[in-house]
């Protein structure tokens, strides 16, 4: 049986052309700064993001945590949105690796305001309190069905952070999905933050890796901490080549994934048993619930038996994510399978 994989865009596999690029990659020892493919990737991504320097890292989690470690001190506070990936899905690394505390804000679709920051800001004047050092945003916001930050809202938060001597980091794992959804380019967003991490192994289709970009001083510090944490890379050009291929070929096609996601969401909305808000489908992620107390885990199991994989999540939510390994024809097939499984439940 051919499985239509919709659990996550992390499930993408390198295409034959990407594999060929990897096979042909020039390599060297990256710990000595001598891997030409890694150097090209870091320079190309930094340029695309409008930053001085880039650092190739193994994952988005590593990129995020190096950004925090490089811009804070133990005992500092980081302000972030309550459902952000950095706090909820990175194995407690903020406290374990950087020794920071986190102030969580109640955002709307992952977006918060300068006024909310001001309410919890610790300037250091009170010796009882940890000093706020960093503001973190996530774009697109995973738990909000891939909602892209409005650039005007981001600009306001960035300006407030700068005026209060706070650093600002963007978890841009799906930044290019935000660009595809809004028609903006990456620098429209990244000009408002000090550092940004972008993932190569989700919708861009590379097998491994992310890039952290920012000013040279911060990236030099991040490189040091990457080595400290065992992330020093050697002949990593075979992986960097996949990232370079992804940048050249796979960013431009991301709108196709968004079209496929909306088509699937529209079909799901026609089923009485499904609870879904089409107004919240902005990129390549779909979140929907089931009426009548139906167990989403049982439904996901039944869908997989028919050939479609989705992800059941608490509380009672099912997630589907489109990507380059699922084309329009497979979306048609997924729609028919969803109807077959869910119509009898109505």
- Which of 129, 80, 83, 138 shows the shortest CA–CA distance to 104? 80
Q: Is the peptide bond before 140 cis (omega within 30 degrees of 0)?
A: yes
Radius of gyration of the chain measured on its C-alpha atoms? 21
pLDDT recorded at residue 346: 78
Written as tens digits, the pLDDT of the chain (346 aa) is 789 999 999 999 999 999 999 999 999 999 999 999 999 999 999 999 999 999 999 999 999 999 999 999 999 999 999 999 999 999 999 999 999 999 999 999 999 999 999 999 998 888 999 999 999 999 999 999 999 999 999 999 999 999 999 999 999 999 999 999 999 999 999 999 999 999 999 999 999 999 999 999 999 999 999 999 999 999 999 999 999 999 999 999 999 999 999 999 999 999 999 999 999 999 999 999 999 999 999 999 999 999 999 999 988 899 999 999 999 999 999 999 999 999 988 7
Q: Which CATH architecture has domain 253-345?
A: Alpha-Beta Complex (3.90)
Q: Residue 29 to residues 226, 227, 235, 315: CA-CA distances in angstroms? A: 15, 13, 5, 46
pLDDT recorded at residue 79: 98
Strand partners, 319: 287, 311
Strand partners, 171: 138, 197
pLDDT recorded at residue 18: 98
Please classify residue 323 by burial: count the beta carbons closer than 10 Å to its beta carbon, then call 0-12 exposed, 13-18 middle and 19+ buried. Answer: buried
Question: Which stretches does DSSP call E strand in 200-316?
Answer: 210-214, 274-275, 285-290, 308-309, 311-313
In angstroms, the CA 258 to CA 244 distance is 22
Q: Residue 105 to residues 112, 135, 153, 232: CA-CA distances in angstroms? A: 7, 11, 15, 34
- Which of 112, 137, 277, 270 shows the shortest CA–CA distance to 194? 137
Say whether pTM exceeds 0.85: yes
pLDDT recorded at residue 223: 98
Domain edges within the chain = 12-249, 253-345
Residue 264 contacts residue 335 (beta carbons within 8 Å): yes
CATH of region 12-249 = 3.40.640.10
pLDDT recorded at residue 126: 87
């Amino acid at each position: 049986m051919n499985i239509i994989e919709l659990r996550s865009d992390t499930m993408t596999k390198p295409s034959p052309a990407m594999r060929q690029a990897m096979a042909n990659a020039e390599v060297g020892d990256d710990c000595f700064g001598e891997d030409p493919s890694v150097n090209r990737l870091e320079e190309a991504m930094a340029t695309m993001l409008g930053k001085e320097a880039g650092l190739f890292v193994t994952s988005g989690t590593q990129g995020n945590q190096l950004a925090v470690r490089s811009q804070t001190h133990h005992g500092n506070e980081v302000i972030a949105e309550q459902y952000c990936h950095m706090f909820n899905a990175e194995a407690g690394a903020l406290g374990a690796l950087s020794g920071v505390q986190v102030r969580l804000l109640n955002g709307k679709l992952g977006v918060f305001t300068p006024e909310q920051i001001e309410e919890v800001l610790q300037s250091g004047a009170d010796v009882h309190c940890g000093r706020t050092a960093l503001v973190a945003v996530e774009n697109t916001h995973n738990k909000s069905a891939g909602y892209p930050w409005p650039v005007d809202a981001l600009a306001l938060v960035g300006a407030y952070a700068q005026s209060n001597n706070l650093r600002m980091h963007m978890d841009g794992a799906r930044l290019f999905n935000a660009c595809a959804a809004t028609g903006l380019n990456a620098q429209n967003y990244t000009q408002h933050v000090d550092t940004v991490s972008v993932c190569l192994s989700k919708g861009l289709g590379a097998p491994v890796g992310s890039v952290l970009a920012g000013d040279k001083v911060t990236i030099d510090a991040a490189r040091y901490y990457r080595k400290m944490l065992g992330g020093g890379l050697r002949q990593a050009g075979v992986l960097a080549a996949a990232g370079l291929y992804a940048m050249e070929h796979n960013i431009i096609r991301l709108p196709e994934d968004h079209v496929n996601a909306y088509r699937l969401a529209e079909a799901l909305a026609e089923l009485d048993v499904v609870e879904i808000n089409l107004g919240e489908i902005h990129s390549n992620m779909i979140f929907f619930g089931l009426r009548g107390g139906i167990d989403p885990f049982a439904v996901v199991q039944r869908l997989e038996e028919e050939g479609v994989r989705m992800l059941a999540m608490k509380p009672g939510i099912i997630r589907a994510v489109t990507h380059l390994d699922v084309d329009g024809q497979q979306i048609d097939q997924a729609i028919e399978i969803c109807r077959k499984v869910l119509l009898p439940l109505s």
